């Protein structure tokens, strides 16, 4: 893959190309932005450009260097990932040891630290020493969706490159060209992807579509006011933090759609267009104020779950709150 094969991020790619053209490449980059927008992909192509035998501002994809990077066996491209929950100091020490040598084959040796926010404090402090004493032949690329969790001392020593959510049209085009989806399906998925190709690929999965319908169905059942039913519905959000957060996110989009449809009557603005019957039902039976209160209640539960609150109690409390709206 080369820069010309990447969907979106034209501004970010132009910045990287300009740095290569001028041969003024910072010793450390911070690629940051939401999950699944292509930060890692751009970083990998950038490593190819820096060592490509064509000496161009884009990768040729055919020289030995590009081929080795594509096959992840280039000796001058090293990726550091978390060993368990954290990136430990051992991984950073190993990185520093490799930096003492000149590149084996290429012009530059590139170190990609994926999910850099997962460095613990010891690892971050060790990396800081490397950033303070840069080497001309080594380049660091830190990738993160949570830059605020990195120490300011590290942030201040990197050139920042922000990756924004992709346009809906860009995601739809990707799905049409890469997955051969039809126009309707690609546009429907792109509406729900929130600017992330990674999420769009997840949405394409049949199990996700089934789960999404089940979550949206909950909106039409909450007003039943039966306590036992509410407790059973709370169990439909799952047990693990990640799956609960994902389902709560879907529920928020459902209420968002209901509010948008209630205020505008425009179906084109609805994200979950394939479940417009549920959206219309909520919009017609709940006031705009109560829909807003519902969004706040779900959002409150979302943040509580992410902060390690009791998951079951949080979900049950949310359900009882939601059942009060629309009375």
- The total of structural domains in the chain comes to 3
Hey, what are 14's tokens?
């132009």
The reply to whether 243 and 261 lie within a common domain is yes
The reply to whether 186 and 123 lie within a common domain is no
Pairing label, strands 138-144, 159-163: unpaired
**DSSP-derived secondary structure letter, 119:** B
The domain of 55 spans 3-163
The reply to whether 108 and 122 lie within a common domain is yes
The reply to whether 196 and 211 lie within a common domain is no
The tens digit of pLDDT for each residue in 34-89 reads 988 999 999 999 999 999 999 899 999 999 999 999 999 999 999 998 877 889 89
Predicted model pTM: 0.76
The reply to whether 33 and 88 lie within a common domain is yes
The reply to whether 29 and 70 lie within a common domain is yes
* Cβ contact 195:165 at 8 Å: yes
Q: Residue 127 burial (CB < 10 Å; 0-12/13-18/19+)?
A: buried
The reply to whether 132 and 177 lie within a common domain is no
The tens digit of pLDDT for each residue in 128-156 reads 988 887 787 899 999 999 999 999 999 99
Q: Write out residues in the chain with pLDDT < 70, as ranges.
A: 223-226, 326-327
């Amino acid at each position: 893959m080369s820069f010309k094969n990447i969907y979106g991020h034209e501004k970010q790619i132009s910045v990287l190309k300009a740095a290569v053209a001028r041969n003024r490449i910072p010793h450390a980059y911070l690629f940051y932005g939401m999950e699944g927008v292509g930060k890692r992909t751009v970083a990998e192509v950038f490593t190819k450009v820096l060592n490509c035998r064509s000496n161009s501002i884009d990768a040729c994809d055919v020289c030995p260097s590009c081929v080795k990077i594509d096959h992840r066996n280039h000796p001058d491209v090293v990726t550091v990932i978390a060993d368990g929950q954290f990136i430990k100091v051992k991984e950073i020490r190993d990185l520093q040891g490799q930096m003492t040598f000149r590149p084996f084959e290429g012009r530059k040796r590139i170190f990609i630290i994926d999910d850099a926010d997962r460095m613990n404090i010891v690892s971050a402090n060790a990396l800081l020493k490397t950033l303070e004493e840069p080497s001309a032949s080594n380049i660091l690329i830190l990738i993160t969706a949570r830059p605020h969790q990195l120490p300011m001392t590290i942030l201040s020593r990197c050139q920042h490159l922000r990756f924004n959510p992709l346009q809906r049209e860009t995601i739809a085009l990707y799905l049409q060209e890469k997955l051969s989806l039809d126009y309707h399906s690609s546009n429907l998925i792109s509406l729900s992807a929130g600017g992330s190709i990674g999420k769009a690929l997840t949405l394409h999965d049949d199990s996700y579509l089934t789960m999404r319908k089940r979550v949206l169905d909950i909106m039409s059942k909450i007003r039943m006011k039966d306590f036992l039913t509410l407790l059973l519905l709370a169990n439909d959000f799952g047990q693990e933090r990640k799956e609960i957060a994902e389902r709560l996110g879907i529920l928020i989009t459902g209420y968002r759609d209901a509010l948008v449809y209630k205020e505008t009557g425009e179906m084109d603005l609805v994200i979950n267009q394939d479940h417009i019957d549920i959206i219309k039902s909520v919009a017609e039976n709940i006031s705009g104020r109560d829909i807003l209160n519902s969004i706040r209640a779900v959002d409150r539960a979302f943040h509580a779950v992410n902060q390690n609150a009791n998951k079951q109690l949080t979900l049950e409390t949310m359900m009882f709150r939601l059942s009060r709206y629309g009375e």
